[in-house]
Amino acid sequence: MFGKKKIKAAQIDTLIGKNTVVKGDIHYRGGLHIEGKVQGDLIAESNEKTVLIVSEKGCVEGDVKGPVVILNGMIEGNVYSTVTLEMAQHAKVKGNVYYKLLEMEVGAEVNGSLIHQSVQTAKVKEKLSQEEVKGKPSAAGSPNDEVNLTTGNG
């Protein structure tokens, strides 16, 4: 599930190294690999080939939004995945997780809600989010399924 083959298949355009701290939001396209720390939101362009990988030592303090998200590190914020979310053994999320397809290894943790998004629900929420950016008020969309879950060794 989290083999090297999948990571090799993703072209990495940007690497944030283990001794690097980035403060501020990052808008990315293509592959982004986080081994260091990001204090801000990670926002992907709407493209199914866009991939975010957060390694075991990687940490994000902010929301993560992208089609394909592969986690093995820490996220302190909400995670929004419109295609696939993979959570490896050391993945920890302190926030809500919005997903279309979820793969989760034993040991991964979510301290928040797991909220399944259908394709239609995800598109409605994306449109509402874009309207908020443009200054238009929006109504909150309702999720299809909501599950509270924490797994792990302790």
Helix (H) or strand (E) holding 8: helix 4-9
pLDDT at 116: 95
The predicted structure's pLDDT at residue 133: 58
> What Cα–Cα distance (Å) separates residue 59 from each residue in 21, 104, 121, 126, 138?
9, 18, 28, 25, 31
Q: With contact defined as beta carbons under 8 Å apart, do 85 and 78 qualify?
A: no
Which pLDDT value is given to residue 49? 83
- Separation between Cα atoms, residue 114 and residue 35, nearest integer Å: 25
Please state, in angstroms and rounded to a whole number, the distance separating the CA atoms of residues 28 and 73: 19
| Residue ranges of the chain with per-residue pLDDT less than 70 | 1-10, 119-154
Mean pLDDT score of the chain: 82
